[in-house]
Chains A and B, each alone.
Chain A
């Protein structure tokens, strides 16, 4: 049981290049999310998914794409890298917990160890 695995751990890109950050989890979690962490800004949600085939935008989605073709994988694509995308990126996954007939919530994340991306 590896938890949440992110690759690569470090990456340097030139402005305008594209790349994909990989995220995989082996816990059969429904929820998966991508966050970026910048100094003094905490964690900001980029995109999230509540199940295979379902994705939605978070707080800062511009410049990023995601897809969720399987439960296990949730890759994050940078379409045309910009220096403003220099950041540490975290993938996280969670079970859904049910609190009533129509209510459900995030049970609590398991985070990957992060990808440190520098765009020059």
Chain B
């Protein structure tokens, strides 16, 4: 079964600084990978996804993520953080096999705090 780990519960950055949120997955084959963002009191919104092809994926709101098979990682990055990026970020991993694993598994989330 697939699993995903987000090692950082909280991350604090200053506005304008760069950001990297870590995500490691466990799955034997090439997984499908997702990053979601949740603003306070809201549902989750899909930021980006990786299915195949180019390992650097561009998403909405200026975010990108890089799939590194050798490290089983899918870290989320943003070159310059804005105060409005303060939110909870979830990494998710899914599989594409015929066994019916259609539903992604979510990590426990990383809370991003942005200082002015």
User: Taking A42-B90, A108-B46, A109-B46 as contacts, is the C-beta distance between A103 and B97 under 8 angstroms?
Assistant: yes
Docked CA distance A33–B92 (Å): 14
Report how far A31 CA is from B101 CA in the complex, Å.
12
With a CB–CB cut-off of 8 A, which chain B residues contact A31?
A: 102-103
* Neighbouring B residues of A120 by C-beta, 8 Å: none
- Within 8 Å of chain B (Cβ to Cβ): is A119? no
Judged by a CB distance under 8 angstroms, whether B55 is at the interface is no
Decide if A60 is an interface residue (CB 8 Å cutoff). Answer: no
A52 to chain B, nearest CB (A): 15
A27: CB under 8 A from chain B?
no
User: Would you list which residues of chain A between 99 and 120 have a CB under 8 Å from chain B?
Assistant: 99-100, 102-114
Q: Please, how many residues of chain B have a CB less than 8 angstroms from a CB on the other chain?
A: 27
A53 CB to closest chain B CB, in angstroms? Answer: 15
**A106 engages B103 (CB within 8 Å):** yes
- Alpha-carbon separation in the docked complex, A100 to B49 (Å): 18
Within 8 A of A (CB), among B70-116: 90, 94-98, 100, 102-109
Q: A90-B44, A111-B44 are contacts. A105–B95 as well, Cβ < 8 Å?
A: yes
A-B contact count (CB 8 A): 70
Interface of B, secondary structure class, is loop
Contact B43 A111 (CB under 8 A): yes
A50 to B45: give the CA distance in the assembly, Å: 21
The contact of A58 among B100, B103, B107, B109, by CB within 8 Å, is: B103
Given the known inter-chain contacts A40-B108, A105-B51, please indicate yes or no for A33 contacting B96, CB distance below 8 A: no
Within 8 A of B (CB), among A47-98: 48, 50, 56, 58, 90, 92, 96-97
Q: Which residues of A contact B100 (CB under 8 A)?
A: 50, 56
By Cβ-Cβ distance, the 7 closest A-B pairs, closest first, are A111-B43, A42-B108, A105-B96, A102-B98, A43-B106, A103-B96, A99-B96
B interface, CB within 8 angstroms of A: 9, 32, 34, 36, 42-46, 49, 51-52, 90, 94-98, 100, 102-109
